[in-house]
Structure 1
Amino acid sequence: MSRTAYVNGAYVPNDMAFVHIDDRGYQFADGVYEVVSVIDGKMIDEEPHLDRLWRSMGELRMTEPVTRSALKLISKQLLQKNRLKNALLYIQVSRGVAKRDHAFPQGDLRSSLVMTCRRFDFGAVRERAKTGIKVSSQPDIRWGRCDIKATALLPNVLAKQAAKEAGAFEAILVDADGNVTEGSSTSVWMVDKNGTLVTRPLKDNILPGITRATLIELAEKHQIRIEERAFSIEEAKAAKEMFLTSATSCAMPIVELDGSAISDGKPGSVATKLVELYWDFAGK
């Protein structure tokens, strides 16, 4: 069955899904996006994802392309048209079509809305979590507003490619002070030698990960200690455990960093517990 996309008010076949050449998302990466996991027909953390999308649009002074209720309806209809129950739903909003100029266009401008969805194997993700993943550290060369989920992702792409070439699943980004910020497309966590769960605070211009927030709630509910603070790449290498979170990786143990095993090179008890808590939350 051919896939269906949504482009500015119309449901169209994927191979006919186009935007104008003067769309500012194409010209300047002047856009924002969200990726929502859909498991057994349920959109996971739908409201927080929409909260973040609206915040990103607000920070960039974009006009909402449709109302929030309309976007939720489009999401459901798009999944139905593609007959998907386990999928990734992609939502992208750009400032719209205008004559190419760096400054914001004058006057009323209609934002562009593009949405796609594709089948996704969450079972494979859960299986991978049983053995964990390898990661590699890369310098964080991104812009200073990483709290906005913008489509300007070239530094992330370069970091992810470097990780892939190093035989790793993900790139762990490291700032100029030698501290871990986040992954190229994930939030990064460690468990220190006291059993405390540690992750970088949002005030440091870290993307407010939706799965990150869910994991914090689950950890607090089950009396797992959490500390939001900076930690160095060397501290991470010496950690008792490491793991990452995202809409696509869910909760994923890290067993190797830059070729060195984390602890005994196997998923630890805290990460394993949080993986199970997350899948219980997701209903899988």
Structure 2
Amino acid sequence: MHTTVIDLLLEYQVSAPAHFLFHIEAAFDDGHCVVQERLTITPSMKVRSFSDERNGNRFFRLDAPPGVLSVNYHATVELHQPAIPLHLDEAPVTTVPDDVLRYLMPSRYCESDVMSRAAQQLFGHLPPGIGRVRAIESWIHDSIAYLPGFSNSTTTAQEVFVHRAGVCRDFAHLGITLCRALNIPARLVVGYVHFADPPEDFHAVFEAWLEGRWVLFDATRMAPIDRLVRVGTGRDAKDVAFATIFGGVQMLRKDMRVVEGDAQALAVMPRSVSAAPARLLTAG
């Protein structure tokens, strides 16, 4: 079991009244337990929370007045990811559950329909199963350069495949796309994980449906996959943005610390913000 402490600070300059949808809280997930968490909003204001029962995603919304908005999320999470079997089969399409079928379809950033020929040429000859998904993961790692700033928020998997460069979400989108093109349901997972080389940021990986279970894969290999604290799960990045903003807003600051270690020592880690009354959250 691993213990992780998360401390995230977001600051925005709001030029006119704006509406925010945030997606930064640890998800309701069987792979981890939220020991404690705290959300601090400055200035203090009404916050409306809701969750996505299908994936355990948690959201909160607020209306911000002009001025500086500060959002601080602090959490201690215990991870207990189950071991992954060495051999898992792919599920025939006819046996894919109704609620999983949507992850076989093309989506905004994952054009699996137009990538089908490439997927078959690269991986169609391999035996179906977890080994084929591992091969996709390895091919992306070996073939795509990790280049921050090369891609942007509209870059699709097909573009990553052509240009051979991107960041973690691009690696994950390409993995999802190649899996779906081979009739393997796949989806995006975003969360917190400790990186050996800062700066910390949200990390994106992909998840494939194999033999009745979801299995995580990370083609960047930047951090141990079993240390990821899940925040968002969706078809692609459109479903898991950490902030969606309606109005005139400029981001001033995004500071994140993700620390692993002894639970007692981590409990005294300094926090970023203590200026406003905190909203205590219920552990999921």
- TM-score over 0.5 for the pair: no
Greater RCO, 1 or 2 (C-alpha within 8 Å, sep 6+): 2
Alignment TM-score, normalising by the size of structure 1: 0.28
* TM-score, scaled relative to structure 2: 0.28
Q: Is the helix fraction higher in 1 or 2?
A: 1
